[in-house]
Structure 1
């Protein structure tokens, strides 16, 4: 699957750098785990449909009752239709420069806080709904004062959210300009029990699959496929031996998409089926 460079693919005049940009996004079919290189921080104001984003160390899912603020980086996006035959959201991009200007103007200090998560979930309310309705890419490309209006809209939503969420949101904004990068091992440890493919984990590490495999072997002295499978199966064995859970209850939780594949792998490793090990208790 090709990597989408966002917002570059939406910008018509690529010769003029844009620090703030609005795009009305529509889609009529589901997209699962598309690879996105997000070069600007972005609000995703979802109006129809569902969205899930996989990050290096976590994932988040939102619906139309929520909005999402995302840190720039390499992410996997899943965008799903809901009960209607269209997915619709408004994307509001802003550069690190505009964010730094805002923080300098309205907050006491601009020091990078340690980033905990690369996203912030916003619970929509009447004010935010009205704000979303005021955003339209048409308005901000054909208007004589488009650039000035966009800066005002950016400051408006930022100030409202600072008031709504207080220090929690302020610290998150400061973390967006932090240069901290998650270590390779943090990405791996966070995805031991995820159902992401190796290629998808490599993407979250900003590596090609071949580079990822070489780096993994240097760090763990084992190929990634074998290392991950061993840990997932060991975790499954512990769960089956220490609880009333069955194989059908846990195979998704430990990173398998298919019960049959899990059962075969489990028996190959331990010489006994998941059902039989449960019956030994």
Structure 2
């Protein structure tokens, strides 16, 4: 599910304001499923007002809290309700590249862009929230409850102050490095998207959106880099991961199906058997028997 489209299409659930085509939201998360798969084709900043959620990407996990914001880059991810359930009240700011580029150029003379760290490979990144940053984002909250039209100039000034304070905070150099790369019109490579996203059940058009390409351009760039089609490559990588999990974990077949991006258990079992001539359960049993024999 494209979280941006979900947010934009449901203003009755996700209270929202727009600023020059930028979408800002303030809401209590309505999630009821224990875990959901989402993806976004826009960068977003998320600030936890209260409660928490668990965000997972690959083998990495983040637990939202008031003292750290989260930058969700263009990626697919899992959002999970924690065992100690609590509501999650959150402010979300979507950042589109063109608008962010204009603001960054305004900030550039005041930012320390020398000796920035290398941009991290993690697609979800925490950043520090101090009292000054918290005061800035909390000053935005009252405007979400006002029915009257808000002049862009007022809200934009507050948003710029918030973003500036985040970027100049010395502890947020990693985020500053990412934004600096974005505004330099960096073109994300195909492998940067696929190597961290293949295990999510996305359509080719959705992988293309994360990679900021049309579907046709994505297919062309993909085949140029990998020398095969996206469908064949995805099946191969997902089966490799599934086989490894069957060999090294006690996870249920349903959990492996979900974690490897297959649509359902029957689909996974069929594809797996076509490749290895064994069902996933048969493969696991044979592998376990082999281990017992080796130990004997």
TM range (shorter): 0.5 to 0.7
What's the counterpart of residue 97 of structure 1? 102
Structure 2 residue aligned with 1:156: 165
Paired with 1:78 and 1:250, the residues of 2 have a C-alpha distance of: 15
Distance in 2 (alpha carbons) for counterparts of 1:143 and 1:234: 51
Indicate yes or no: 2:11 matched with 1:26: no
Distance, in Å, in 1 between the alignment partners of 2:226 and 2:279 is 28
Q: Structure 2 CA distance, aligned partners of 1:236 and 1:51? A: 24
Partner of 2:282: 276
Describe the SS at the equivalent of 2:45: strand
1:224 is aligned to 2:246: no
- Secondary structure of the residue that 1:95 maps to in structure 2? helix
Asked if structure 2 preserves the Cα contact closer than 8 Å seen for 1:193 and 1:232, the reply is: yes
Q: Return the match for 1:171 from 167, 177, 197.
A: 177
Distance 2:80 2:281 in 1: 35
Aligned to 1:236: 242
Point out which structure has higher relative CO (alpha carbons under 8 A, 6+ apart).
Answer: 1
| Structure 2 Cα separation of the partners of residues 238 and 86 of structure 1 | 35
Preserved contact between residue 28 and residue 87 of structure 1 (Cα < 8 Å): yes
Structure with the larger helix share: 2
Alignment of 1:200 with 2:206, yes or no, is yes
Count of residues paired in the alignment: 265
Residue 47 of structure 2 contacts residue 92 of structure 2 at CA under 8 Å; is this kept in 1? yes
Q: Taking structure 1 as reference, are residues 246 and 268 closer, same or farther at Cα in structure 2, changes over 3 Å only?
A: farther
For structure 2, which runs of at least 5 residues remain unmatched after alignment?
Answer: 291-296
2:230 paired with 1:186: no
Shift of 1:11: 5.7
Shift of the alpha carbon at 1:204?
A: 1.6
CA contact (8 A) 2:46 2:90 kept: no
Q: Where does 1:1-281 land on structure 2 (aligned, <5 Å)?
A: 4=5, 23-26=24-27, 29-30=30-31, 37-38=41-42, 42-48=44-50, 50=53, 63-65=64-66, 66-70=68-72, 88-91=90-93, 95-107=100-112, 109=114, 116-117=121-122, 119-124=124-129, 128-136=133-141, 138=143, 141=150, 148=157, 150-159=159-168, 161-162=169-170, 165=171, 167-209=173-215, 212-213=218-219, 216-217=222-223, 219-241=225-247, 243=248, 245=250, 248=253, 250-256=256-262, 258-280=264-286, 281=290
Query: How far did 1:121 drift?
Result: 1.0
| Structure 1 unaligned residues grouped into runs of 5+ | none
Bigger CA drift: 141-150 or 60-69? Answer: 141-150
Structure 1-normalised TM-score?
A: 0.65
**What's the CA shift for 1:240?**
3.9
Distance 1:237 1:35 in 2: 25
CA–CA distance in 2 between the matches of 1:153 and 1:246?
Answer: 43
Moved more, 150-159 or 25-34: 25-34
Structure 2 Cα separation of the partners of residues 239 and 28 of structure 1: 32
Contact 2:44 / 2:93 at 8 angstroms: preserved in 1?
Answer: yes
CA distance in 2, matches of 1:176, 1:58: 25
Deviation for aligned residue 1:96: 1.9
Kindly indicate whether the alpha-carbon contact (under 8 Å) linking 1:192 and 1:228 is maintained by their aligned counterparts in 2: yes
